[in-house]
Amino acid sequence: MKIIMLGAPGAGKGTQAKMIAEKYGIPHVSTGDIFRANLKAGTELGLEAKKYMDAGQLVPDELTVRILLDRVAQDDCKNGYVLDGFPRTIPQAEVLEDALTKLNDSVDYAINVEVPDEAIVERMGGRRACVKCGATYHIVNIPPKKEGICDTCGSELILRDDDKPETVQKRLNVYHEQTQPLVDFYSKKGILKDVDGTKGMQEIFAEICGILG
């Protein structure tokens, strides 16, 4: 079972990806994690990617797909995987599709976690992070025991710049421009499944499990 997770930043697709991976016994494959692992291990692909990153450039789609295919060729992916964070654009989706087709392979499901922009701005604006240990909270969903103070280390909690409404809206604008077209792309392939991301975490998961069987 090969799954691609779609959804705006803050829609909760990463959380759902981890839950899917755990339930179905398949790896949660995040492109960020793969890059870090390759850089840390000093692999040939990692060193190639590092050249672009050191120059402040984006890693080309073709190289990102090579790194991704290297990861999904490993034994733990033989029963499938959940892709989180890739593809982000139509060209990336096309490069991935071409590469998988050459391996007589394809994606089974593209799950789109739908949440309106205003709900995401509100959701992200409620996040708080500890300045010292990095623990994260949410003023509504996961509040600290004492307002503004970290349960773990007692340090101050802050609203990160990334979670401020104006920053979130900018990220959403980029998502709508670059990534949302993937919804149509996978819909035309007949593998898109929409889920309502405004529901509770377990409700969303139950809906996804109903799709995956």
Domain borders along the chain are 2-115+169-212
* Confidence band of 184 (pLDDT split at 50, 70, 90): very high
Q: For residue 89, give the DSSP letter.
A: S
Annotated catalytic, 36?
A: no
Annotated catalytic, 128?
A: no
Average pLDDT over residues 88-102: 92
Out of 36, 51, 78, 160, which one is annotated catalytic?
160
Out of 2, 123, 127, 128, which one is annotated catalytic?
127
In angstroms, rounded to a whole number, what is the distance separating the alpha carbons of residues 14 and 64?
19
Is-contact 129 135, C-beta < 8 A? yes
Out of 18, 66, 171, 193, which one is annotated catalytic?
171
Average pLDDT over residues 80-109: 93
In angstroms, rounded to a whole number, what is the distance separating the alpha carbons of residues 124 and 140?
11
The arrangement of secondary structure in 2-115+169-212, i.e. its CATH architecture, is 3-Layer(aba) Sandwich (3.40)
H-run or E-run covering 53: helix 44-54
* Confidence band of 17 (pLDDT split at 50, 70, 90): very high
Out of 2, 13, 123, 128, which one is annotated catalytic?
13
Annotated catalytic, 71?
A: no
Out of 18, 50, 66, 88, which one is annotated catalytic?
88
Annotated catalytic, 171?
A: yes
In angstroms, rounded to a whole number, what is the distance separating the alpha carbons of residues 145 and 74?
43
Could you count the other beta carbons within 10 Å of the beta carbon of residue 76? 12
